[in-house]
Amino acid sequence: MADEEYVKCNIKCDSDVSCLASCYDERAEFLSHCPCGDKCPADCPCPSFDCGLLFPACTNPNQNADVMKCQDLVLKRFDTCIIECALNMGCIENCEQMMESEIENCPCGAKCPAGCPCPGFDCDLIHEANDTLLVLSHWRNISRPAVLIGPNGNSYEALDQCRFWSKI
């Protein structure tokens, strides 16, 4: 029972204590199935909870453009690594381990289950340059540095040597 349903249940109970207790028990049972609850202690994935509800962008990762671009980038790195190994099996094994680790860091991977932004992957690498927003601000006659904001929310000062004036 989600919060909204819990509130509705309490309202219907009015001041009936046994009814209110029943609402509480139903909500506690519902929450026990949620990630980190009693029936899902290790977080997602979890057999008693549809983790796709938490991360809608990762419900179908095979159709997620970020996932596909990241995996393509990882496979290109893997190909380059293999070529540089020149049939050295120890080197090839290192390339395979690197690829597996990087795939886990991709959006919707084990270390980035919600998609971009990801703590272990720079999502700017897979977004087109036109996904960046340039912000110019001149509020109350105070010039602020121009800022670039990437698709993952990271911001960078840009054009810090330029000044902008407006004629009114």
Per-residue pLDDT reduced to its tens digit, 122-160: 888 887 655 566 666 666 666 666 676 766 666 666 554
Would you state the pLDDT for residue 89? 92
The Cβ of residue 123 has, within 10 Å, a number of other Cβ atoms equal to 22
Residue 142, CB half-sphere, CA atoms under 13 Å: how many?
Answer: 3
The answer to whether the peptide bond before residue 45 is cis (omega within 30 degrees of 0) is: yes
Would you state the pLDDT for residue 38? 82
d(CA 17, CA 86): 75
* Residue where the block lists tokens 């596909």: 68
The residue ranges of every structural domain in the chain are 3-53, 56-125, 129-158
The Cβ of residue 71 has, within 10 Å, a number of other Cβ atoms equal to 20
Would you state the pLDDT for residue 2? 63
Residue 2, CB half-sphere, CA atoms under 13 Å: how many?
Answer: 2
- In order along its 168 residues, the chain shows pLDDT tens digits of 467 787 888 888 888 889 988 988 888 888 887 777 788 777 766 777 766 666 667 878 788 888 888 999 999 999 999 889 888 999 999 999 999 999 999 988 888 888 888 888 888 888 765 556 666 666 666 666 667 676 666 666 655 444 444 454
Residue 10 DSSP one-character state: H
